[in-house]
Amino acid sequence: METVLSIQKLTKNFGKLCAVNQLDLEVKRGQVFGMLGPNGSGKTTTLGMLMGVTNPSSGSFSWFGEPSTHLTRKKIGAVLEHPIFYPYLSGQKNLELNAMIKGANPANIVKVLDIVELSARKDDKYRTYSLGMKQRLAIASALVSDPIILILDEPTNGLDPMGIAEIREIVKRIAADGKTIILASHLLDEVQKVCTHFAVLRRGKLMHSGPVDEVGKGEETVEVMAYHDDLPVLLQEFIGSATIKKENGIFQVMMKDGFHSQDLNKFLFEKGIITSHLITKKKTLEKQFLEILAEAH
Amino acid sequence: MLHLLKIDLKKMTSYRTFWVICGLYFITLGFSTASGMEILKWIASKFEDFGSSLNVNRIPLYHFPDIWQNLIWFSGLFKLVLSIMVVISITNEYQYRTLRQNIIDGMSRFEFVLSKVLTNLLLSVMSVGMLLLIVMVTGLIYTPELIWSDILVGTEFLLAYFIEIFAFLSYALMLGVFVQRSGLTIVLLMLSHMIEAIIKVNLFRESLNPSIGWLKQFFPLESITNLVPLPFARYAFQEIQDYVSITAVAIALGWTFLFNYFSYLKLKKADI
């Protein structure tokens, strides 16, 4: 797959503080790449350097295999931190301005306003918009040049649950179009729901990078319940059980490597027990994230 | 180039403050320069109330070729209004952080500065155009015996005026880029002449350094003022400099370049 972004040893110092430390990262075409990290872990600083507003202290990066210039940035749609627009201009005029700077076709404006469902309010001044509308206008402005890559930094920050769901839907729709998306967030749930790949940053250092699919791999936990007195004994007997815990009357069986819920189910069935409750619990990104951060200590 | 100018104008043309300040600038500039003769007449009528007489036609304020230097010197006083507009335009970009978004959207830092400089050029050209119009109309009305060759004498002051305005707007832009807060920048802008005067007075005390007085002309604001010398002393039978000095033009142009270059340098190095 074509490499869209390649970062080598990127570093940014603010005085004594090292905000980004020797960061190496690769993003390939078509990925929805989540950048995770606690607040202040260097996500926005990294994106700021990638977008030319923060000067790197050392290291380098390339977009599309070439060193970055302002011309490369025209091909990228980006919203960093919070939406930035001229408050005294209408949404429409702000987008016209964005399109002029990016050299985009102004005809796209109608389309992107439609995507973010702001067509009805396009002639109102930006300062009259609600936070959710501002975030949506920011996404519209990032889309106006029909970019190959979209960079979104905390796009759901400060939104209510409905707003979050709306933005998530928009991101999913854009991803379905085959665009490469880099999404910085501290909302793990959000990243797990929309991203294909993710990286974890902590104090400016890359802690982990890989596909989201792999998060669920590794040992499974199976929740099991049956109306049978011998259940705990049989669970102990099952050769695939690593540990067994009872929580709220339900058994949590941590499986050994190579064993899955169907093996347990088959075993119990052969012993004459029919389960009333059987759930495979994959590890969540949240759990993995906390583990990665814990390992770092 | 034109594209960059269009971008900056697009930011301005839907901004009410821009229209109010520019409107006030051109209206007050137009009316006050054009109505000097009426004021003289009013003064003369007051003189008559006291029994003495003043023949306004003997003061060739609006006569070619005097009119060029007279009106252009006076118009120079208004450039502060225009420069405040420039300060607002640049400090807004910092306050709203739109400068950051412009760069993210794919403007280079050089292009950003250039777009502001181009607007300054346009405002300077418009000021010159305004002055040309006023001088031609009032000059043709008030000059008693029109000699066509006289009209052209003194047009050099139009060029000097253009440099004066553009240099000062460049200075205002630079101040805005460095200070970034509109209120503080405007105060500094208004006090600039005063601050420079204080520095000059302390550096060039006759007793200390009698031989380096010629250095004064190299001070930035002094160099802008020197482009169009104060003309009115000639009506009190004094010698004045009634031409544009090439040295003054060279120094002012040098500063203009530096102001804009410093703006670019500052922006280039900054994390925004």
Q: Assess if residue A291 is contained within a domain.
A: no
Note whether B108 contacts A: Cβ–Cβ < 8 A. yes
Nearest to B106 among A55, A84, A102 (CB): A102
Distances (CA, A) of A56 to A16, A22, A52: 15, 11, 9
Note whether B95 contacts A: Cβ–Cβ < 8 A. no
Q: Assess if residue A65 is contained within a domain.
A: yes
**Smallest CA–CA distance from A54 into chain B, residue:** B271
Nearest to A70 among B11, B108, B271 (CB): B108
Quick check: B28 pLDDT over 80? yes
pLDDT for B167: 98
Same domain, A71 and A169: yes
Report the alpha-carbon angle B54-B58-B64, nearest 5.
145
Confidence of residue A11 (pLDDT cuts 50, 70, 90): very high
Dihedral over Cα of B25, B27, B30, B36: its sign? negative
Cβ pair B96:A48 closer than 8 A? no
Same domain, A98 and A244: no
Q: Assess if residue A7 is contained within a domain.
A: yes
Same domain, A33 and A144: yes
Q: Assess if residue A297 is contained within a domain.
A: no
HSE on the CB side for B30, CA within 13 Å? Answer: 11
Which residue bears the tokens 């015996």? B145
Interface test with B, best of A14, A44, A47, A53 (most B CBs within 10 A): A53
Q: Assess if residue A289 is contained within a domain.
A: no
C-alpha distance from A52 to closest chain B C-alpha (Å): 7
pLDDT for B268: 94
Q: Provide the strand spans (E) within A29-86.
A: 32-36, 58-63, 66-67, 76-79
Per the omega criterion (within 30 degrees of 0), is the bond before B65 cis? yes
Q: Domain residues for A51?
A: 3-215
Same domain, A113 and A256: no
Confidence of residue B232 (pLDDT cuts 50, 70, 90): confident
Nearest to A71 among B6, B104, B106 (CB): B106
d(CA B272, CA B101): 9
Cα of A93 vs its chain's centroid, Å: 31
- In 3-state terms, what secondary structure has residue B173? helix
CATH number reported for the structural domain that contains residue A75 in this entry:
3.40.50.300
Q: Which residues of B119-138 are buried (b: 16+ CB within 10 A; e: fewer)?
A: bbbebbeebbebbeebbeeb
Q: Are strands A149-153 and A76-79 parallel, antiparallel or unpaired?
A: parallel
A94: which residues sit within 8 A by CB, 6+ positions away?
A: A85, A86, A126, A137, A141
Dihedral over Cα of A193, A197, A200, A201: its sign? negative
pLDDT digits (tens, 9 = 90+) for B180-207: 999 999 999 999 999 999 998 888 776 6
Percent of chain A with pLDDT over 90: 42
DSSP string, B103-143: HHTT--HHHHHHHHHHHHHHHHHHHHHHHHHHHHHHHHHH-
pLDDT digits (tens, 9 = 90+) for A63-84: 998 888 999 999 999 988 889 9
pLDDT for B119: 97
Same domain, A184 and A275: no
Same domain, A190 and A257: no
Q: Assess if residue A288 is contained within a domain.
A: no
Q: Are strands A221-225 and A250-255 parallel, antiparallel or unpaired?
A: antiparallel
Strand order across the beta sheet in which A17-28 lies: A17-28, A3-14, A58-63, A66-67
Same domain, A183 and A63: yes
Q: Assess if residue A294 is contained within a domain.
A: no
* Number of separate domains in chain A: 2
Which is higher by pLDDT, A6 or A172?
Answer: A6
Same domain, A101 and A202: yes
- A125: DSSP letter: B
pLDDT digits (tens, 9 = 90+) for A204-232: 899 888 888 777 666 678 888 888 888 88
Note whether B2 contacts A: Cβ–Cβ < 8 A. no
Query: Chain A interface residues facing chain B, Cβ-Cβ under 8 Å?
Result: 48, 51-55, 69-71, 73-76, 78, 80, 84-90, 93, 96-98, 100-103, 141
Q: Assess if residue A179 is contained within a domain.
A: yes
Same domain, A51 and A91: yes
Same domain, A82 and A167: yes
- In 3-state terms, what secondary structure has residue B65? coil
Same domain, A208 and A243: no
Note whether B98 contacts A: Cβ–Cβ < 8 A. yes
Same domain, A195 and A235: no
For chain B, the domains span 2-269
